[in-house]
Amino acid sequence: MESLDDFIERFRRDIEAGCGCPVYQKLLKDAGYHLRKHEDPSKGLFAGIWQLKWSKRFGIPYRHSEIQVSEEHAIKAGVANRADGRDDGGWWGKPSLYWFVTEGNTESYNRAVRALSKICQVR
């Protein structure tokens, strides 16, 4: 089973490869990470990734992570219609979109990497 730190590092590297620019990560106190396009922590924030959570589907346990982005950035990148969920005030009081990445599900992982790569490019 992959740790959150290992998952974030792999995810960061794959987004970096997809967008063609450096992606920086910052550990948050509440067991999550921010991904940024700039090394300066006050610039370029484009995603929040929250800890891997346990859930059950049809009685079968699985782990997933929620990846949150600004709806405005997702619209600019042309990926808003590919999100798994929406929150009216989740991005510091502004609308946000979510991608849910299920551990071991390559399709959900790749879908999120493609979307975040495009968001990183326009951010």
90-105 pLDDT, tens digit per residue, is: 888 899 999 988 888 8
Q: Which residues pair with 97 in a beta bridge?
A: 69, 86
pTM of the entire structure?
A: 0.87
At 75 the pLDDT is 96
The pair of structure tokens assigned to 25 is 């990560």
Topology of the domain covering 4-122: Aspartate Aminotransferase, domain 1 (3.90.1150)
C-alpha–C-alpha distance, residues 70 and 55, integer Å: 25
Predicted confidence (pLDDT) per residue in 57-116, tens digit: 777 767 788 899 999 999 999 999 999 999 998 888 899 999 988 888 899 999 999 999
